[in-house]
Structure 1
Amino acid sequence: MYIRTCTSHTLQVPTMADRRSGSRARSRDLPGEFRQFSNLTKQLKKIVYDTNISRAELRNCGHFEEERISELLLEDEHELFMKSIVGDPPCLLICGQTYTAKATILNRILNEQILRITNCSDNSKSWRPLRFRFGAERRSALTTLTDSFELLNGDYNPGTNWTVLPQRDVEIRQEDLSDPCTAQATTEVTLNHPLLATKVEIIVAPHNCPDLNITRLYSQYSSRMLPIIFYGIDKDYLSQEEQRELLDLRHLASDLPLLFLDCCPHTESPARHSQVDDDLGEDSAYDSNNEDLVARSVEDLESHNQGASSPSPRRPSRFHDIVHGQLRSLGFLTDPSEVPVFKGGMTPTEDDLHQSRLEKLYNMQGILMFVRQVLQLYLTRATTVLHDLHLQCMNMFITTAFDMQRDIQITPRRIDYARQREMELFESLKDLANQRQEEIRKLIQATIQDLKEPLLQEAENYQFEDLEISLDGELSQGKEIKGCTTQIQELVLNRVNKAVVDKLISSVDYLHDSFVGTLTRCLESLEKGEDGQQGETSASMALKQILNSAYQVEVTVRTSYSFVKVIWERMKEILQSMKPFKAPPIVDKDWKRKVAINLLNNLDESKLAKSICSQFRSRLNNSHDMFSSSLRQLENKHSGRLEKTEEQRMKVRKVHAPRLARLALDSTSLRDMVLYGMPKLEREIGRGQYGVVYSCRNWAGLTSLAVKSVVPPDDKHWNDLALEFHYTRSITEHERVVTLRGSVIDHSYGGDGCSPAVLLIMDRLQRDLHVAIKAGLDFPGRLQVALDVVEGMRYLHSLGLVHRDIKLKNVLLDKRDRGKITDLGFCKPEAMMSGSIVGTPIHMAPELFSGKYDSSVDTYAFGILFWYVCAGHVRLPTAFEQCANKDHLWSSVKKGVRPEKLNVFDKHCWELMQACWAGEPGDRPLLGEVQIKLQEIHERALDARLKMTKLRDLAGSKQAKTEDKGRPREV
């Protein structure tokens, strides 16, 4: 048993998002945010690594079609993004209107004066790009933009003994312009600072460098870092050049928000501090007094500008009207009333993650929240891409498993169907050949009579082939008359043969297109090779020979004439040849017609019918034997193939699907953790075999939740939990199924992280059906819950899912006592079921013990549940109570032992539960039928309750009248 111990503790893990419950945030500064980001990217990196391994195995296992495997490849954009997330460090990219604005932001973030701000003329000078990294000592050096090498010259002497970065290291002097490398060099600074120690880098954009603008700098660093963009504003408006620069930057960083910082103090009343305090919210990211924090922030800002002739303080209304309006017109900001304000304890929604912000520089809480927002955006995008890939894999597994299962089930049926239908066809044709010879003779006679005139017309117009005949019809040689006669005879016999065969085939009822077409398609599907290519195989050829047996009969002169007529015609030819100097006849139309008439008149229908039937029988028997032999070979081939298919299906179900389901659980849990944080667990409200359930006040904007805490002890339980989560999360929200809202994995559980706890967040309901029956829920109310259970089961079955554990405690009731099915731990698609014995013993159907079952096991379990609904108590049935152990119970169920009939059961209820728990799955009713019968029972129960209520009211009124009569009247 792997349940969380019942202790009054709350999981405390630093989160990327503050809890909506209003608890005090744990990440209180920028270094803490980046450390947490680093921890989460380590988890993400492991998920990516395991995903790549799984994808490689799927590619090499050979169980899936190449087309499906190719769909699992990420787009190039997503592939590069994932590599960047797990491999590149984050960086703060500081841009701004002036050098003063950038320097002020840098000093504010590092909380020390690194860049000196002397006077307003600084903004007219040219300043290098700066790159700040972590180092054990303070050091500055000039490097190329690509960091290929460090620049050294006589005028530059890198030093370490400084507090404020020397101006010579930052300013581009006039003499530097002669050397392009020096003019475009970057000043790289190393500092031993807590923020930089988290592997974060800070990039300060150059100023007054035409050859090195913001867009080029962003393109340079975004390919190897994760930028977080600040833009300092210390003027009352944005110039046209600055607006173009911002639009170019937005084009490059279209998916990233920008933080615009107001770097110049406003002329405000002392009440400003209290207003800022309201903006920060009651639960600030700092434990110190908010007013002191704001005061110190303003003092620091003013001290940085002390002694400088910087712009005079401006009024906030002018700044708001102009700059805010410009940013709105550029598409960075929305209407002020629509801009959400970051407050302590609040988590931005997914849409908010893409929203640019405008904050005051001294509002460090706003800066902190923006950094958190961008880091959330990076992680959310990465986990979403990963989770979509995992879901795609899982859907492929389920589809493949269904295809494999269908192949295993349908192939033997197709073979049996082909054998049966071919036998029917063979027997019908054989009967035709054996018993209908006289019918065939009459058919031939009628055919010849109908065909005679058109055939004679065709014979008259026939053109001889390969014979020398003049235009008058004279033959060059007398012996060629035999060739002319033969050609006319062949013409007549071919037409007769075709007409007779057409009539013969059309008289066979079993050769309708529907029959032959279905049988042909069945054979074609069976004869497709493993590579999917269809060829002309022996079974198809044998079937065609059966179908063409009638077409292949031959009508010749020998089979058409009687023996006496053949001898007489031969003697006439001999006598004609003995006559001397006999001129050959003219082969004109009359001659051709005469030859054709002579042939038609001398055809012997009886002999022709006998010959046709004999040929038909012979060819039919040969084709049938060939078909039977080919079908046996086909069956043997499929038998071996289906064994391999079953092995592949089991590997998909036991290896690939659980592994990807666990990765899907990891990715979506990480995403929920990033967006919504760890749920705050409150009191324990229940526990079961696989976990403890706690109440949760709110999470992710939802209220009144329940959190199921599960600690899987090994990989098998992890896989089962991951599959449960996948199937439950994939179910579209339905009012009769408990909705799973999200999940979070607590890697800190157990101390060393070796046994993390999985927190499954779902809607919290009032009680389960077991408790409701014990509490005395009335019969119509119990029937309504039973109807709700059937509706939920029908919905699950419509999705191809089988619950396999329908029982009282897995039916939860809401405030209106309407039922919802929960605990889909054993719920799986039919194709993914392995035949394992799962469920609660008294609710398990007999076929569960054989390992071969389908969705009807839920109908059986409902029958047992309905017994409790009608009984009105939760005691075991007497037949089951006498069983000493589980094995005894299972043995009794397999022998047909069922719950007894109680006196409170009416006829309709007892018949329904008996039908549901029938021993044979095929004898159980469909859930649609169960629902109809339940509705009728429920309506009768409501009518009975209404009548009882009326009788009770009537009896009460009579009793009241009697009491009034017996009471003495007051005088």
Structure 2
Amino acid sequence: GQNFISFPRHEEEHLQRSVSWHPCLLILGQNCSAKCQLLNILLGEKLLPTTKISNEENCKRRRIRFTHGSQTRLSLALPQQYELVHVLAAHRGHWDTIPEEDLEIQGDPEDPAHRIAELEVMLPYSLLKEVDVVVAPCRGFQPAEDTLGELVNQVLPVVTFAISEAQLSPSDQSELRTIKEKFSLPIFFFRVPEAGGELISPKKPDSDKSPPHCQLMVVERLDKLRLLSTFSRQVLQKHLVEAATSLNELHCRCLNIFINQAFDMQRDLQITPKRLEYTRRKENELYESLMGIANRKQEEMKDMIVETLGNMKEELLEDAALGEWGDIIIPENGEPVSSKDIKCCIKQIQELIISRLNQAVANKLISSVDYLRESFVGTLERCLKSLEESWEVSVHPARSLEKPKDGSVHITSNYLKQILNAAYHVEVTFHSGSTVTRMLWEQIKQIIQRITWVSPPAITSDWKRKVAQDAIESLSASKLAKSICSQFRTRLNSSHEAFAASLRQLEDGHSGRLERTEDLWLKVRKDHAPRLARLSLESRSLQDVLLHGKPKLGRELGRGQYGVVYLCDSWGGHFPCALKSVVPPDEKHWNDLALEFHYMRSLQTHERLVHLHGSVIDYGYGGGSSIAVLLIMERLHRDLYTGLKAGLELETRLQIALDVVEGIRYLHSQGLVHRDIKLKNVLLDKKNRAKITDLGFCKPEAMMSGSIVGTPIHMAPELFTGKYDNSVDVYAFGILFWYICSGHVKLPEAFERCASKDHLWNNVRRGVRPERLPVFDEECWQLMEACWDGDSSQRPLLGIVQPMLQGIMDRLCKSSSEHPNKGLDDST
């Protein structure tokens, strides 16, 4: 089938909202006075009246929206639509505080447009450039959950709740509980002074110094506003993190679909030719077996017919003599019977003989070929179903989405199925009207119909017995058997040729399909998957930087071909960390890095793999001269190269070898091939336990393009052919184990003599390997040689290498403890 990549509608809407919608500060509160006070505090002017209304239930204040504009302007407008033609009290003259009558719903209460219109206030305030402010209408007009329900489909809401009373009323609690259940939004509680208190500092104070209690109020209010600012940033950041997370999940989902399809396509390219060859071979075997049966059975069938007739003769004669034949009227007065009745009676006697003999012959033939269903036909049909299904889907992709009513997932050509069953007679029974049955029937009828008789006799028991006896004696068992087997062979040949022609047609269809599959597989590996991997890297890096910020680079720890590794004190709750900065030089390296990141993030934490904490794309790296990807990983003590130079005990080195094998085995269990196992890609912690790092060349087998990658001295010879599998990691481990057993980092002499990389590769292809050192234990040397065998199929599985290493370690380390001066050399 085909996988279609889709973006769930709610996720798409959430992303659109997070990216394009404007943030909005929604002011809720215990009463209209508290909400107005909070608005005045936020904007620094007494724009709304703060007189406490005696009966909040009868309050009819409408929703008020404050937005940015170059000039001060008030209007009534339908939300997100158009302005209403309406003269406001504020239009009649200058105002500092918006007139009360403009805040309340006036006029015809039946006019729906006037009722739902909000008062839009445009002000040239810098705060309003960043965020709209909406004061919710009074509860008597519209519940807070309804107001919020409308806003969440228009803006990114930041909810505040103004408190002016000593405690929350039951209606306050109910309102807040409903908001929490319906929207799961955080709420910022802001206590405002009692109504009538001095909220805004006078523009022209009467004295240079304000009273101490007023100064304290201003300081507290500033602290609260700073907290509100922080809260708002956190809420908006949460929206962005959720959007980045949704986007990254989509990218990963799509990328995994492509990677899984790459596996399916690779398997298809490998399996389909083998299935076609298997089908051809098994059909030939079946055909030859059936032809052998036809040749062998002729004599047996002749003997069987003779034996059957001999055994059944008396019973047949008796049944024929005593049989009451329908549709025949025998006159009681002895008058002669008509020729028509005579012929009818003879025909019925013939049919009695034919049916008995046919059943015996058919059963004999069935028993000869019936066993073939288990050994041939079942497997052959299953193989054909698979081949035809994949061909059918490639020719008619839309049909792959249609499930048959019976729930079957196989779409099989009825034509081929009928050929298979008809050709080999696996369905033959007496009641089926099968080919063999019809052949036998016609043959016996031809023989019996040659019987002649004189003028119509009287139909008596003796006459009927005589007719039956003549019919039986006229049958030639040898001719009948020969005729049956000859026709059987003819039909077999005809069906075999028809089957072969159909198979050639199927093969031709698959040939074109496999060419298209190979082209698509190449596009998935080279284009689609890498592009999606890069998008996934970008969206995950956005998510990480929003959550944890940009990491700070410490001192340099080392550098490689494409990047530098720095110390990072802490990031995202992890410390200390290592930070690998990579500046990809071209698109290919960008894609490789993105895929490395995807594979590392998709792996579960494993104690033998260096853990990747996160990533950040630094667009201003190197003073803005380049773009770098910062990969933040766990910090380890040193690499194996440095450890061997410093000197490591035998037991420690063998434990490191075991750790490396465990790490590679885990990668292989996840369908990944590392392709660059070497000393510097094995890191050691402070206890000298090993972890594998740098998955830059790590890929699933289905995603490998055959490119030559890795470090020359650790590269298996088949890497140069472009066709290889995960056994290249076994080869690389064999070279690594040579260093581990030697206890130093000096190049093997066979490699050191090579003047260039090409010289080294040519030698490796010719079978040149590291030399055996005197210090090597025999079993260790045998393990190295097995791992770096030139024939990849002869290399041991890591599941076998691991217990072998454990056995070597147990033996040598026990030996070393008993003989402190003895090393890996087993000759001393």
TM-score interval, normalised by the smaller of the two chains? 0.7 to 0.9
Give the counterpart of 2:166 among 221, 227, 236: 236
Corresponding residue for residue 70 of structure 2: 136
Partner Cα distance (1:177, 1:546) in 2? 87
* Mapped pair 1:812 → 2:673: no
Structure 1 letter corresponding to 2:346: T
CA deviation after TM superposition for structure 1 residue 666, in Å? 1.5
Partner Cα distance (2:673, 2:19) in 1? 39
* Mapped pair 1:686 → 2:558: yes
Contact residue 99 and residue 123 of structure 1 kept, 8 A: no
Contact residue 792 and residue 821 of structure 1 kept, 8 A: yes
Change (3 A) 1:488 1:82: farther
CA deviation after TM superposition for structure 1 residue 171, in Å? 4.1
Structure 2 letter corresponding to 1:676: H
Corresponding residue for residue 571 of structure 2: 699
Partner Cα distance (1:458, 1:675) in 2? 97
Corresponding residue for residue 43 of structure 1: none
Contact residue 654 and residue 809 of structure 2 kept, 8 A: yes
Change (3 A) 1:928 1:475: farther
Contact residue 36 and residue 50 of structure 2 kept, 8 A: no
CA-to-partner distance for each residue in 1:674-696, whole Å, 9 max, x for gaps?
Answer: 11211222111121122111122
Contact residue 140 and residue 169 of structure 1 kept, 8 A: no
Partner Cα distance (2:212, 2:361) in 1? 108
* Mapped pair 1:907 → 2:778: yes
CA deviation after TM superposition for structure 1 residue 672, in Å? 1.4
Change (3 A) 1:458 1:515: farther
CA-to-partner distance for each residue in 1:647-701, whole Å, 9 max, x for gaps?
Answer: 0111112121111111111111111111121122211112112211112222222
Give the counterpart of 1:609 among 481, 487, 490: 481
Corresponding residue for residue 649 of structure 1: 521
* Mapped pair 1:99 → 2:14: no
* Mapped pair 1:394 → 2:255: yes
Change (3 A) 1:437 1:141: closer
Corresponding residue for residue 737 of structure 1: 609
1:560-571 paired onto structure 2 within 5 Å = 570=450
Structure 1 letter corresponding to 2:192: C
Contact residue 810 and residue 822 of structure 1 kept, 8 A: yes
Partner Cα distance (1:387, 1:296) in 2? 55
Partner Cα distance (1:165, 1:361) in 2? 22
Partner Cα distance (2:422, 2:503) in 1? 15
Contact residue 505 and residue 511 of structure 1 kept, 8 A: no
Which shows bigger deviation, 675-684 or 213-222?
213-222
Give the counterpart of 1:665 among 527, 537, 541: 537
Structure 1 letter corresponding to 2:732: A
Partner Cα distance (1:786, 1:118) in 2? 77
* Mapped pair 1:204 → 2:135: yes
CA deviation after TM superposition for structure 1 residue 156, in Å? 3.9
CA deviation after TM superposition for structure 1 residue 149, in Å? 0.7
Contact residue 673 and residue 726 of structure 2 kept, 8 A: yes
Change (3 A) 1:468 1:437: closer
Contact residue 261 and residue 360 of structure 1 kept, 8 A: no
Partner Cα distance (1:914, 1:117) in 2? 90
Give the counterpart of 1:847 among 718, 721, 724: 718
* Mapped pair 1:187 → 2:70: no
Partner Cα distance (2:108, 2:48) in 1? 21
* Mapped pair 1:716 → 2:588: yes
CA deviation after TM superposition for structure 1 residue 248, in Å? 3.9
**SS at the partner of 1:835?**
coil
Corresponding residue for residue 544 of structure 1: 421
**SS at the partner of 2:283?**
helix
* Mapped pair 1:148 → 2:9: no
Partner Cα distance (1:119, 1:468) in 2? 119
Change (3 A) 1:875 1:96: same
Partner Cα distance (2:545, 2:571) in 1? 11
Partner Cα distance (1:462, 1:298) in 2? 129
Give the counterpart of 1:885 among 737, 756, 772: 756
Contact residue 140 and residue 158 of structure 1 kept, 8 A: no
Contact residue 674 and residue 729 of structure 2 kept, 8 A: yes
CA deviation after TM superposition for structure 1 residue 228, in Å? 0.5
**TM-score with structure 2 length normalisation?**
0.86
Contact residue 317 and residue 468 of structure 2 kept, 8 A: yes
CA deviation after TM superposition for structure 1 residue 136, in Å? 2.2
Partner Cα distance (1:593, 1:846) in 2? 87
**TM-score with structure 1 length normalisation?**
0.74
**SS at the partner of 2:775?**
coil
Corresponding residue for residue 422 of structure 1: 283
Corresponding residue for residue 380 of structure 1: 241
Corresponding residue for residue 271 of structure 2: 410
CA deviation after TM superposition for structure 1 residue 454, in Å? 8.7
Partner Cα distance (1:547, 1:946) in 2? 73
CA deviation after TM superposition for structure 1 residue 432, in Å? 2.8
1:192-271 paired onto structure 2 within 5 Å = 192-198=124-130, 200-207=131-138, 210-252=140-182, 254-264=183-193
Contact residue 661 and residue 719 of structure 1 kept, 8 A: yes
CA deviation after TM superposition for structure 1 residue 411, in Å? 0.8
Corresponding residue for residue 80 of structure 1: 13
CA deviation after TM superposition for structure 1 residue 460, in Å? 8.6
Partner Cα distance (2:166, 2:69) in 1? 38
Partner Cα distance (1:458, 1:744) in 2? 97
CA deviation after TM superposition for structure 1 residue 240, in Å? 2.8
CA-to-partner distance for each residue in 1:523-566, whole Å, 9 max, x for gaps?
Answer: 222233223583536654543344129863465488569x9xx6
Structure 2 letter corresponding to 1:262: R
CA deviation after TM superposition for structure 1 residue 297, in Å? 12
Contact residue 331 and residue 337 of structure 2 kept, 8 A: no
Change (3 A) 1:373 1:779: same
Identify unmatched segments of 5+ residues in structure 1: 1-63, 266-294, 305-358, 953-971
* Mapped pair 1:172 → 2:172: no
Structure 1 letter corresponding to 2:188: L
CA deviation after TM superposition for structure 1 residue 731, in Å? 0.7
Contact residue 559 and residue 607 of structure 1 kept, 8 A: no
CA-to-partner distance for each residue in 1:281-302, whole Å, 9 max, x for gaps?
Answer: xxxxxxxxxxxxxx99984684
Corresponding residue for residue 918 of structure 1: 789
Partner Cα distance (1:477, 1:300) in 2? 137
Change (3 A) 1:106 1:469: farther
Partner Cα distance (1:471, 1:210) in 2? 110
Give the counterpart of 2:740 among 869, 882, 885: 869
CA deviation after TM superposition for structure 1 residue 426, in Å? 2.2
Whose relative contact order is higher, 1 or 2, with alpha carbons under 8 Å and at least 6 apart? Answer: 1
**SS at the partner of 2:551?**
coil
Structure 1 letter corresponding to 2:179: L
Contact residue 321 and residue 465 of structure 2 kept, 8 A: yes
CA-to-partner distance for each residue in 1:472-509, whole Å, 9 max, x for gaps?
Answer: 99996333323333344344334433432432343358
Structure 1 letter corresponding to 2:608: R
Corresponding residue for residue 203 of structure 2: none
**SS at the partner of 1:735?**
coil
Contact residue 37 and residue 48 of structure 2 kept, 8 A: no
CA deviation after TM superposition for structure 1 residue 157, in Å? 1.1
Change (3 A) 1:119 1:607: closer
Partner Cα distance (1:654, 1:723) in 2? 11
CA deviation after TM superposition for structure 1 residue 779, in Å? 2.0
Change (3 A) 1:453 1:905: farther
Structure 1 letter corresponding to 2:740: V
Structure 2 letter corresponding to 1:132: F
Partner Cα distance (1:297, 1:89) in 2? 40
CA-to-partner distance for each residue in 1:503-527, whole Å, 9 max, x for gaps?
Answer: 2343358614143200121122223
Percent same amino acid among aligned pairs? 50
Partner Cα distance (1:492, 1:296) in 2? 130
Partner Cα distance (1:475, 1:783) in 2? 111
Partner Cα distance (1:379, 1:474) in 2? 110
Partner Cα distance (1:181, 1:468) in 2? 98
Contact residue 336 and residue 457 of structure 2 kept, 8 A: no
Give the counterpart of 1:624 among 486, 492, 496: 496
CA deviation after TM superposition for structure 1 residue 262, in Å? 2.6
